[in-house]
Amino acid sequence: MYRTSSDRRFYKIKRDIRQAFVRLVMEKEHFADISITEAADLADINRKTFYLHYDGIEDILIEYADDTAADLMRFLYEQPSFSVRSLFDWASSHADENPFFRKLAAQDRVQPFTERCRRTLRSYLENCLQASKGTLSQEDRVRAGYAAAGLTDVLMSWASGQLVMDRDALIACLEAMPGLEGASRPGPATGIPVRSYENDARMENLNTMQNYLSLVREPVSSRNARQILEIQNRRIRDLMEKAWEIPFYRARFQESGTLPEDYQKAEDLFRFPLLTREDLRTWMEAEKKAEPDRFRHWHSQRTAGVTGDPLQILVSPNENAWITANWLRVLTLPGYNPFTGKTMSRSTRKGGRTGDVDSMIQHFGILRRRVMSDPAETSLQAAIQELNAYRPDYLYNYLDILLDLAAYAREKGIQVWKPQYFTPSGGQVTPEAAALLTEVFGPGLTDSYGLTETGACVVRLPGKKYYQINSDTHVVNIYAPDLSGPALQGQAVITPLFKTELPIINYVSGDGMESYVKQGLRFIRTIHSRAFS
């Protein structure tokens, strides 16, 4: 892994290491012959300082490839439209690096560059197609992927000297090939395509599953902490680049005197202005009033209003797919399989209720679920009977309902089915509440914390003393109680990294938390709900 920092001296040392790396690549016969000691000596640093910047030689190559892809992205979005010639113009602007690429290619080491530039070009071509047509079909995705793979392979082969062909003849050859029709976009590109939210809504379930599969689905450990941190940092950079294009957030960048590139990791967000509940309310209402048609296929979610007037949150279909995928991940973290297990959950609407099987797929034992009747509309006795009859593997309901059920069962001496795991929502699980719940429902208490505004972002697994943060989808920073600056205990400030269309950056939750940092990731010791509301 390579590291980032807001310290200019950090990047001076990193530049020296990169220059030493390039020199060693050119001098050595084999890439594998390059040692950390040699790179450190050439950069005039010691090994300890090297490890503050990189874990190994391979990480320098990966960072170089990431920077190359980022430069390609900036170049593409600066162009008025896409053309094969402009792509080769970009490659020609890096002509001084061709000997370096030739040496890497001779040792089959350009794969990181090829992979990252292909992804960048595919994303750009998809955006071009969507902007020009107003929608993006599966066929368009296939065309963009096919074109990006071919163009990147040819471009890298040409830049590394493996393909010897006149530049203009090569461009003419590529322009005559099928697959790029319609991939031109009039006007300057902003990096934010015009979306078809109707199409996104149709694809929401599929996107949910794709997002779920992309998430880290194991508890945080020494084995995956580095991977999670890399994902978090990458998504922070992506979020802030997208936020820059939104007038509401552009003003906040200007207020703080920062640019998107100033945000590379969670700690950098302390430099960005805080977002209060009223800030969010005013902005959301203004957006909906200005462009009502834009939100026709969006989800409109309302907070409970415990601390004041309910807040309406606008969530795009793609963002909602992330919220749902993240919640599925919360269910699976302790070891539950939602695809083969049985889930009993709270009703999401008044009078809502389903039977044991409510779709064809459930006849095959997949994604079985049942909604528990609201005890306020039936009775606690009836709700317990439903639970005992269905015998779910996972139980999910509001904290106050589970506490009422547990207290009633204990008072009446009723035996209650103990699911493998259960999760209360909508309140803080105090030690006293945890004791009652585990006595009645068993040891599988999975304590999840989140807001309507942000989705689930913190979870404590059964038997654990600490809460882990879903750090590949969220940043949870802790401010001093008066919000004056960073702290280990105080107010929780939350940023969901997947919410990039109407972002929620540095949202003051009103909840208190005590935390510690390990391996670059924050963990939560205790949560104090509505401590600052």
- List, as one string, the DSSP characters of 121-187: HHHHHHHHHHHHHSS--HHHHHHHHHHHHHHHHHHHHHHTTSS---HHHHHHHHHTSSS-TT---SS
Do 12 and 37 sit in the same domain of this protein? yes
Do 40 and 136 sit in the same domain of this protein? yes
Close Cβ partners of 58 (under 8 Å, ≥ 6 residues apart):
none
Q: Which of 3-17, 318-332, 371-385 has the lowest mean pLDDT?
A: 3-17
The verdict on residue 51 lying in a domain is yes
The verdict on residue 329 lying in a domain is no
**Alpha carbon of 161 to those of 27, 100, 156, 157, 207: distances in Å?**
18, 11, 8, 6, 40
Looking at residue 185, its pLDDT comes to: 44
Q: Per residue in 171-220, pLDDT tens? A: 888 777 655 554 554 433 333 344 568 878 888 887 888 888 889 989 99
Q: Is the pLDDT of residue 532 over 90?
A: no
Do 231 and 180 sit in the same domain of this protein? no
CATH code: domain of residue 92: 1.10.357.10
Closest CA to 86 of 202, 167, 181, 20: 167
Do 94 and 136 sit in the same domain of this protein? yes
Looking at residue 291, its pLDDT comes to: 84
Average pLDDT, the chain: 85
* Conformational region of residue 413, where left means phi above 0, alpha means psi within -120 to 50, and beta covers everything else: left
Q: Report CA torsion sign: 155, 159, 161, 166.
A: positive
User: What value does the mean pLDDT take over residues 118-145?
Assistant: 78
Share of the chain above pLDDT 90, in %: 45
The verdict on residue 441 lying in a domain is no
The verdict on residue 248 lying in a domain is yes
- Position with higher pLDDT, 84 vs 473: 473
Cα 352 → chain centroid? 31
Q: Are 513 and 524 in contact (CB under 8 A)?
A: yes
**Rounded Cα gap, residues 130 and 186, in angstroms:** 12
Do 83 and 218 sit in the same domain of this protein? no
Q: Which of 145-159, 182-196, 253-267, 425-439 has the lowest mean pLDDT?
A: 182-196
Looking at residue 200, its pLDDT comes to: 81
The verdict on residue 391 lying in a domain is no
Task: Please report which confidence band the pLDDT of residue 4 belongs to, taking 50, 70 and 90 as the band edges.
Answer: low
- Position with higher pLDDT, 486 vs 105: 486
Token couple for 380: 């606690």
- Position with higher pLDDT, 119 vs 306: 119
Q: Is the pLDDT of residue 349 over 80?
A: no
Q: Are 17 and 54 in contact (CB under 8 A)?
A: yes
Looking at residue 435, its pLDDT comes to: 95
The verdict on residue 299 lying in a domain is no
Do 176 and 238 sit in the same domain of this protein? no
User: What value does the mean pLDDT take over residues 363-371?
Assistant: 71
Q: Per residue in 243-295, pLDDT tens? A: 998 999 999 999 999 999 999 999 999 999 999 999 999 999 999 888 888 89
Do 158 and 224 sit in the same domain of this protein? no
3-state secondary structure of 303: coil
Closest CA to 438 of 413, 411, 419, 425: 419
Which residue among 166, 199, 232 closes a domain?
Answer: 199
**Rounded Cα gap, residues 130 and 141, in angstroms:** 10
Do 88 and 42 sit in the same domain of this protein? yes
Q: Which domain holds residue 94?
A: 8-185+193-199
Token couple for 514: 């005590």
Share of the chain above pLDDT 70, in %: 89
Q: Is the pLDDT of residue 354 over 50?
A: no
Close Cβ partners of 285 (under 8 Å, ≥ 6 residues apart):
312
Q: Which of 33-37, 112-116, 221-225, 458-462 has the lowest mean pLDDT?
A: 112-116
Q: How many domains does the chain fold into? A: 2
Do 517 and 458 sit in the same domain of this protein? yes
Q: What is the chain's Cα-based Rg? A: 26
Do 179 and 52 sit in the same domain of this protein? yes
3-state secondary structure of 14: helix
**Rounded Cα gap, residues 321 and 209, in angstroms:** 8
Task: Please report which confidence band the pLDDT of residue 492 belongs to, taking 50, 70 and 90 as the band edges.
Answer: very high
Task: Please report which confidence band the pLDDT of residue 80 belongs to, taking 50, 70 and 90 as the band edges.
Answer: confident
